[in-house]
Structures are given as structure tokens and as C-alpha cells.
């Protein structure tokens, strides 16, 4: 089965609209947006944990909430600052009194704004913005964002309360909440523990597919060891239900097994990567040797529908030792263009190389075809070569399960 088909099946199975009544006062909204939202019915008002990704979708959720309770939404808690969790907040502007968020535990690098154009472009490519519904099946951890399919726009409300401490305990409208800064998917990530209800709202530190330990849109290093620590914290709570920011609710009888295995698999990749590095392996050798263990490979909630193990290994390697992997040949290399020219001179016949590329494409090895096309493009940017590259990118996109990889490949093909 092609990766494309697996992604279609995963999306159809996991992102149907569903309101889960967790108990008499806690409700989980799945499939109403790219992300999930949680509603907690207080004594006189509703507390929302996250708000979906667009104003239109939040309005649909608001209408559903009205069937459950006539109380207004007065408090919003953001689990982190990603726009897909904040975009529906404006729908509740007329009634909201307080919007709570936490400051990042690790400051953003100075002058990050100087690369905003680059980051925005790569974000567009990763998320599949501007692609058709056929091209962008889903965004891996949820349906496409509303703003991409004419279901509203981002409508943010800035936080009114920012916390910097690790733990904040409050009682809001009769609801006892423990909000904990918990670095993982984001540096401002939190989880919320509802003590009286024994419910864990974990944000994006767990969701039911291989996580973005590295995001190809470009991010600072996501500290994998700290993410694992956060998962250990979450697992220490005696939760009867775990409510993620993406994918379905987990119940008491499955939390330890699923989230525990999720943690174990991430830790296994981290330790294997570090061990390979310590043995003096190059980045390429490490990627070749570090794979998901067989005991994890049949777990749907570890499927590579969002992040991938290979990207995780590369990120860990770079996060610990930087760009130089110890191979002296890579220390002061010729520019790629000069190297490719030298290889082309040795081949001596572009027609022979084009034939080889077409043969690889016929064998469905589109990645090898793409890498050989890069040799040609040093001296030949003809329509024939560009069309070959475009075709190879589009066919490679069909092979991958990761929505992020798929989007990036298709977007790059369309940009040629």
C-alpha cells in the first residue's frame, strides 16, 4: 500500500467529528478543527482549553456547546502558542474575561525575526497551505486548517495572564486546575491536571502518531530528553482519561500502555542515536543504523503520519554536536555545484544519465532519480530536466506517509 493510501485511511479513521462526554462537566471535541478543544463546565461559566483553529469552526463548536450548557465561555487556557490551537479564540471575545498562557521556558534565539521570510515559506510548504484537498489529504495530526478550505480564519485573543513559574494551581469558577509548564512539542507547552476529575489535558506532548521531534518548517532544537521527562510527569498522574490536543481520548485502561509505549519508543530512538554517535558514526551512518524497533512498528499511534524517525535522528544528532559529524571529508568540502560538475565530467554523457534517471523512475526509485537529477541541473535547466524533477517529486510524494513530507514535496514540485 502506498504511503498516500495509508495517510488517507488514517485520516478517515481518526478524524471524524466526535464530542466525548468524559464526565458530567468535561467534554472533548475531536474533528471539529485541525486541533482539539476541551470544555469544562464550571459553576457559572465554561472554561475552554484551546479553541480550535478558526473562527468559523469555533462557532460550530460554540453551537454544540450551547446544547450542553447555556453558560458563557469566560476563561480560555492555551496549552501552547501554535495558531491551530488559538485561532478560534475570537469567537468567544464577547464573554471571555481571562485568557491564560505560559511563557516559553527557553527563549527564542535573538534575531529569529530576521529569517521570518524563510520560516514562513517553509511553514507554507510543510502545512500544505495553498494545495488542493486531493494534494493535502490532511495535516497528519488533524484535518486541514479551516483557513485553507474556506472554513474561517485565524481570530486570536492575546493572553491576559502570562505565567512564568513551573506550576500554577488555581480554582476557577469552582474548577480546581493544576497548570504545569511542560516543554515538549513547544517550549511554552503546558498540561492541565483536573484534580477533582482525575483528568489529564496533555496538550501536544502526546498525540497518536510519530511526533514532530523536528519540524521541517525549521525550528530550534526540540529537546527530546526533556520531552521524555514531560511524558514521565504526565504518566505519574492517576488519570481516568487523557485528553490530547490532537487525536482521540485515551481512557484509564490504555493510558499507561499507549503513552508509556510512545515515551519508550522516543527514548529508544534517542538512546540509539546517542550510542551510534558515541561509536564515532557519521550522521549518515547513524540514520542508517537507527530504526524503530520491531516491537513498535505495528503500533498505529507511532505511525509516521506527521514526523518521521529519520528526521528525529538527524535532529538529535545536530542538537547534541552541531552540523559537523566528524567526517573530515565534510569539514572543508568543495561546493556541491563544483562536485557535481566533476561527477558529470566523469560520466561524460548526459543522455546516459537521463536514461538512468528514467530507469530509476520506472523502478519507482524516485528518490535516487531526484538525487541524480540534481547532478544534471548544474548545467542543464531545460524544460525536459525540470519536468523530470517535477514528476519525480510528485511520485515521491505518493510514497510517503508523513503529511508534512508529502506537502513539502508537492509544494516544491508546483513551484518549479
Lowest mean pLDDT among 8-12, 276-280, 379-383: 379-383
- Which residue, 107, 142, 109, 110, is CA-closest to 127? 142
Same domain, 240 and 345: no
**Looking at the predicted structure, is the pLDDT value of residue 378 above 90?**
no
Scanning 222-282, the segments in alpha helix (DSSP H) are: 224-235, 252-278
Q: What pLDDT band is residue 63 in, cutting at 50, 70 and 90?
A: very high
Same domain, 48 and 167: yes
**Residue where one domain finishes, among candidates 208, 242, 266:** 266
Q: Check which CATH number belongs to the domain holding 30 and give it.
A: 3.60.15.30
What are residue 79's phi and psi, to 5 degrees? -75, -25
**C-alpha distance from residue 126 to each of 120, 140, 174 (Å):** 10, 11, 41
> Alpha-carbon distance 318 to 362, whole Å?
35
Q: Which domain holds residue 350?
A: 334-415
Same domain, 262 and 338: no
29 part of a folded domain: yes
**Residue where one domain finishes, among candidates 215, 241, 266:** 266
82 part of a folded domain: yes
Q: Check which CATH number belongs to the domain holding 350 and give it.
A: 1.25.40.880
Q: What pLDDT band is residue 381 in, cutting at 50, 70 and 90?
A: confident
- Look at the chain and report how many structural domains it folds into: 2
Q: What is the pLDDT of residue 182?
A: 98
Provide the angle, in degrees to the nearest 10, between the axes of the packed helices 366-376 and 383-399: 150
Q: What is the pLDDT of residue 73?
A: 99
Same domain, 17 and 122: yes
328 part of a folded domain: no
Scanning 69-220, the segments in alpha helix (DSSP H) are: 83-86, 116-127
The helix/strand/coil state of 2 is coil
Name residues whose C-beta falls within 8 Å of residue 186's C-beta, 6 or more positions apart in sequence: 80, 81, 82, 104, 204
Lowest mean pLDDT among 80-89, 217-226, 306-315, 372-381: 372-381
317 part of a folded domain: no
Q: What is the pLDDT of residue 382?
A: 86
Q: What is the largest CA-CA distance in the chain?
A: 79
Please compute the mean of the pLDDT values over residues 105-131 and round it to a whole number.
96
Q: What pLDDT band is residue 194 in, cutting at 50, 70 and 90?
A: very high
Please compute the mean of the pLDDT values over residues 361-378 and round it to a whole number.
96
58 part of a folded domain: yes
- What is the layout of strands, in order, in the sheet containing 26-30? 18-21, 26-30, 37-41, 46-49, 73-77, 98-102, 161-163
300 part of a folded domain: no
180 part of a folded domain: yes
- How many CB atoms are closer than 10 A to CB 213? 26
28 part of a folded domain: yes
Helices (H) and strands (E) in the chain, counts: 13, 13
Q: What is the pLDDT of residue 349?
A: 86
Same domain, 102 and 246: yes
- The upper half-sphere exposure of residue 260, i.e. CA atoms within 13 Å in the direction of its Cβ, equals 9
**Looking at the predicted structure, is the pLDDT value of residue 101 above 90?**
yes
Please compute the mean of the pLDDT values over residues 283-310 and round it to a whole number.
98
Q: In percent, how much of the chain has pLDDT > 90?
A: 97
Please compute the mean of the pLDDT values over residues 325-347 and round it to a whole number.
94
**Residue where one domain finishes, among candidates 266, 284, 300:** 266
Same domain, 221 and 363: no
By the 8 A CB rule, do 366 and 395 touch?
Answer: yes
Amino acid at each position: 500500500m502506498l504511503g498516500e493510501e495509508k495517510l488517507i485511511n488514517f485520516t478517515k479513521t481518526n478524524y471524524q467529528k466526535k464530542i466525548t462526554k468524559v464526565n458530567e462537566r468535561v467534554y472533548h471535541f475531536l474533528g471539529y478543527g485541525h486541533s482539539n478543544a476541551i470544555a469544562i463546565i464550571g459553576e457559572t461559566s465554561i472554561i475552554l482549553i484551546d479553541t480550535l483553529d478558526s473562527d468559523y469552526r469555533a462557532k460550530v463548536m460554540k453551537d454544540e456547546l450551547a446544547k450542553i450548557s447555556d453558560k458563557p465561555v469566560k476563561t480560555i487556557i492555551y496549552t501552547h502558542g501554535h495558531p491551530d490551537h488559538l485561532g478560534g479564540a475570537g469567537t468567544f471575545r464577547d464573554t471571555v474575561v481571562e485568557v491564560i498562557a505560559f511563557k516559553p521556558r527557553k527563549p527564542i534565539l535573538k534575531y529569529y525575526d530576521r529569517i521570518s521570510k524563510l520560516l514562513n515559506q517553509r511553514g507554507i510548504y510543510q502545512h500544505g497551505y495553498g494545495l488542493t484537498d486531493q494534494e493535502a489529504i490532511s495535516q497528519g495530526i488533524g484535518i486541514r486548517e479551516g483557513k485553507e478550505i474556506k472554513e474561517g480564519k485565524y481570530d486570536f485573543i492575546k493572553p491576559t495572564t502570562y505565567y512564568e513559574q513551573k506550576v500554577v494551581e488555581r480554582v476557577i469558577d469552582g474548577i480546581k486546575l493544576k497548570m504545569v509548564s511542560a516543554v515538549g512539542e513547544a517550549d511554552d507547552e503546558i498540561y492541565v491536571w483536573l484534580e477533582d476529575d482525575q483528568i489529564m489535558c496533555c496538550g501536544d506532548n502526546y498525540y497518536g502518531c510519530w511526533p514532530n521531534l523536528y519540524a521541517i518548517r525549521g525550528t530550534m532544537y526540540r529537546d527530546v530528553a526533556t520531552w521524555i521527562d514531560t511524558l514521565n510527569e504526565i504518566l505519574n498522574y492517576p488519570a481516568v482519561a487523557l485528553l490530547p490536543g490532537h487525536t482521540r481520548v485515551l481512557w484509564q485502561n490504555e493510558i499507561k500502555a499507549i503513552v508509556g509505549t510512545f515515551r519508550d519508543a522516543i527514548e529508544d530512538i534517542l538512546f540509539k542515536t546517542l550510542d551510534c554517535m558515541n561509536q564515532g558514526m557519521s550522521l549518515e551512518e547513524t540514520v542508517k543504523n537507527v530504526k524503530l524497533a520491531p516491537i513498535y512498528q505495528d503500533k498505529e499511534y507511532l505511525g509516521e503520519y506527521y514526523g518521521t524517525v529519520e528526521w528525529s535522528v538527524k535532529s538529535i544528532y545536530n542538537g547534541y554536536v552541531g552540523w559537523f559529524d566528524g567526517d573530515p571529508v565534510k569539514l572543508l568540502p568543495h561546493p556541491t555545484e563544483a562536485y557535481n560538475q566533476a561527477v558529470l565530467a566523469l560520466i561524460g554523457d548526459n543522455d546516459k544519465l537521463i536514461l538512468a534517471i528514467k530507469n530509476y523512475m520506472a523502478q519507482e526509485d524516485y528518490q535516487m532519480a531526484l538525487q541524480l537529477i540534481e547532478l544534471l541541473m548544474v548545467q542543464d535547466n531545460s524544460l525536459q530536466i525540470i519536468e523530470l524533477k517535477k514528476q519525480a517529486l510528485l511520485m515521491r510524494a505518493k510514497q510517503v506517509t508523513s503529511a508534512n513530507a508529502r506537502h513539502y514535496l508537492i509544494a516544491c514540485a508546483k513551484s518549479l
